A and B are shown apart, each in its own frame.
Chain A
Amino acid sequence: MSAAGGIIRPVSIASFAQSQNVRKDDEHNEAESLLPVIAEVFGNIGITKDDVDFICSGSTDYLIGGPFSFVMALDAVGVWPPRAESHVEMDGAWALYEAWVLLQEGEIDAALVYSFGRSSLGDLNEILTLQLDPYYEAPLWPDIVSLSALQARALIDSGKATEADFAAVASRSRRDALNNPKAQVRKDVAPEVLLRDDYVVAPLRRHALPPITDGAAAIVLAAGDKAQQWSDRPVWITGFDHRIETHSLGARDLTVSPSTVKAAEMAGVGSANVDIAEIHAPFAHQELIVKEALGLDDSVVINPSGGSLAANPLMSAGLIRIGEAASRIRAGQADRAVAHATSGPCLQQNLVCVLEGA
């Protein structure tokens, strides 16, 4: 079997929950902010932690500024008696991938995946600089907004997009977020108005940047009989892949996303019509790059949730894309959807998950 369109064991997104996404939650620690999310993701389908066979989470220590932030967060689940459990220092979308891999073996049928992060605790723009090569890049302190602006400039120079296109993405995202009660930035402002914003780092104006968001999310995966028992309309993962590019920005063409192209090919995105796509594009111009890399035409509804321009909880924003796409299918608004997650500066690493209704 393979994720490359071969035979894969059907696995369903059985339940999805996310916290209210807010600019700053300084009333709850990580476990406390996760508790209601975990309760909801189980409560949605009437199960408890004893009904899942595996637990996997995604988070990063650099948000809390101390080691092992995932350790105490595990208290939100309450792993007693002890459970099979793992953690990735990546967005929760990759934690979902690890759980999906385990479910492929056919020995277990259900898994809980969650992710969390309080982006408000430190200076996110500085913190993300620490993802860069620690010898040649990080000491120069290029911040993530400036690096993204370089990418946006390259896109404009390539003739593929204009600042007006970035404003159109931002306007649509925040308008769509009016229908998403969990979103953080929800407003109806025309692109022409947004273009009057000041530059943060040219050519990125304020509207092209993501909000700083505290939030958490969780998904229950199910296979076999449990997938049918826990949902009237199971949402199946029919393709799943992720790829990474080289790190050096100077060695990459920042106007394209070859890792997304490859992941989309392996996940079989182009094998049938796509109704909606949830794209994890923290900066407005990145949606345009990923949309092209996924091979999506203008008939595809992009980010009906508002995407990460409406709420960008670090380490959860990718997992939320998968949850949001699944929710549209479960609600009957789509039959086939693509969800995408990204990591690293300027879309260095990308994950693609194809979802289909029964």
Chain B
Amino acid sequence: MAERCAVIGVGQTHHKAKREDVSIAGLVREAAKMALTDADLTWSDIDAVVIGKAPDMFEGNMMPEIYLAPALGAVGKPMFRVHTAGSVGGSTALVAAHLITSGIHKRVLTVAYEKQSDSDAMWALSVPQPFAAPLLAGAGGYFAPHIRAYMRRSGAPDHIGRMVAVKDRKNAMRNPYAHLHLADIDMKMVEDSMMLWDPLRYLEACPSSDGAAAMVLASEDAVSGHYPPAWVHGMAMRSEPTMFAGRDQINPQAGRDCSADVYAQAGVTDPRKQFDCAEVYVPFSWYEPMWLENLGFCDLGDGWKLTESGATAFDGDIPWNASGGVLSSNPIGASGMLRFLEVAMQVRGQAGEHQLDGAKLALGQAYGGGSQFFAMWVVGSERP
């Protein structure tokens, strides 16, 4: 990277099933103002705005950067809109970060959101298209067969998915912004919940949330704010085709390549040992063990053993999704950015009740499409 980039401000909304108290503009502005306050800056200090969200049909507002420009203080500035499916929150942060590392801007505001209650994502994902196989049952229907394939391949026992569902919801009890606060969550409660897409039960799936996330990114000479900066140590994106017989959708090559790239930039050779924590896009419980393997935190086939051992729990040696993760809050377009934002909060020491002691280096990951789009960054408390 030509110039260093730091996260100097973070903000997020209280994620809920329905944020009927705010418009879309009000939602994104809430997160953005919080990030500016954290960075000790005002709207006029920002050089450019980069916004991301998942398909526009989720709200019925086409190319919403056009409508949101004034709400985000972008009038007279460059405003940019990213859309890379579920990974978009991560990709958006990366596009914003490159405006800093390329030396073009000093301070960039990046925002991602979804207001799922304005529409119905399941419907929007399931519109029949000419010449394309229909996705009739939303994302869960697409991913459930991959989960079954993972279970068969790895020999993982049934209860692993339920463990992840319980762990992430317990973590969410420490996060005041999380959508789901299920105080009584336990294995039995998950097991008793309705079967949605075999083997995924209702409580093993992410909620539908309204919410937004925002970060202020800055060059080294523009660092400000109430907490020390989170320095970007590496960033990468990778994509692979949806329909290709040579793909392994259980352990996608694009995910392996993306992590290899970002680890090389950050000097990471042993992710489990070197990272203090990770925020990884786990919208369905079983994606924790699957991504543990894909991201090289363990050998192939051992992801479920890591989860079962408690290593990824809040008090484990490599906590995953201490914030509660996507399983506890899923404003789709923002879900990837929340992963990137949460690891920045950890290395800045501002995560409050879900702060992990001594977090210095962390991985944020987002994925999207048919497990084919990946965005990752590594942030650390030390300047690279």
**A residues with CB within 8 A of B:** 1-3, 29, 55, 60-62, 64-68, 70-72, 74-75, 78-90, 94, 97-98, 101-102, 104-107, 127-128, 130-135, 138, 241-248, 258-259, 262, 343-345, 348-349
Contacts and interface: CB of A to CB of B under 8 A. Distances in A.
Given A85-B238, A244-B78, A102 B66 contact: no
Contact of B242 (A72, A245, A343, A345): A72
B80 interface: yes
Given A89-B83, A101-B104, A344-B66, A135 B23 contact: yes
B9 to A, nearest CB: 21
A87 B75 contact: no
Contact of B79 (A65, A68, A128, A349): A349
Interface stretch (B32-40, B129-137, B282-290, B319-327): B129-137
15 contacts: A2-B103, A2-B104, A55-B239, A71-B372, A74-B241, A82-B238, A84-B236, A87-B82, A87-B83, A90-B63, A138-B61, A244-B66, A244-B75, A245-B75, A348-B66
B237 A79 contact: no
Contacts of A90: 63, 65, 80-81
B62 A247 contact: no
A70 B80 CA distance: 17
B273 interface: no
Contacts of B91: 86
B1 interface: yes
B61 A247 contact: no
Nearest to B85: A68
Interface stretch (B51-59, B196-204, B294-302): B51-59
Given A132-B67, A348-B66, A102 B239 contact: no
A130 B83 contact: no
A88 to B, nearest CB: 6
Given A67-B125, A348-B66, A82 B253 contact: yes
Interface residues of B, number: 69
A80 to B, nearest CB: 6
A84 B237 contact: yes
A244 B104 contact: no
A105 B98 contact: yes
Q: Which of B80, B102, B252, B369 has the most CB of A within 10 A?
A: B102
Interface in B227-243: 236-243
B183 interface: no
A134 B24 contact: yes
Given A67-B57, A128-B62, A98 B70 contact: no
Given A75-B243, A84-B237, A134 B129 contact: no
Contacts of B94: 86
Nearest to B132: A72
Contact of A82 (B65, B124, B257, B370): B257
B127 A71 contact: no
B363 interface: no
B243 A106 contact: no
B69 interface: yes
Contacts of A65: 127, 129
Interface centre among B58, B63, B75, B373 (most CB of A within 10 A): B63
A130 B253 CA distance: 37
A102 B98 contact: yes
Contacts of A349: 65-66, 69, 79
A221 B63 CA distance: 26
A86 B60 contact: no
B109 interface: no
Contacts of B79: 244, 349
Nearest to B71: A247
A338 B188 CA distance: 66
Interface string B277-314: 00000000000000000000000000000000000000
Given A67-B57, A104-B2, A244-B69, A343 B63 contact: yes
Contacts of A72: 132, 242-243
A198 B102 CA distance: 51
A105 B69 contact: no
B78 A241 contact: yes
B241 A80 contact: yes
Nearest to B258: A82
B98 to A, nearest CB: 5
Nearest to B2: A105
Given A72-B132, A98-B95, A131-B63, A79 B241 contact: yes
Given A29-B130, A67-B125, A343-B66, A98 B80 contact: yes
B253 A81 contact: yes
A247 B69 contact: yes
Contacts of A348: 66, 69
A118 to B, nearest CB: 11
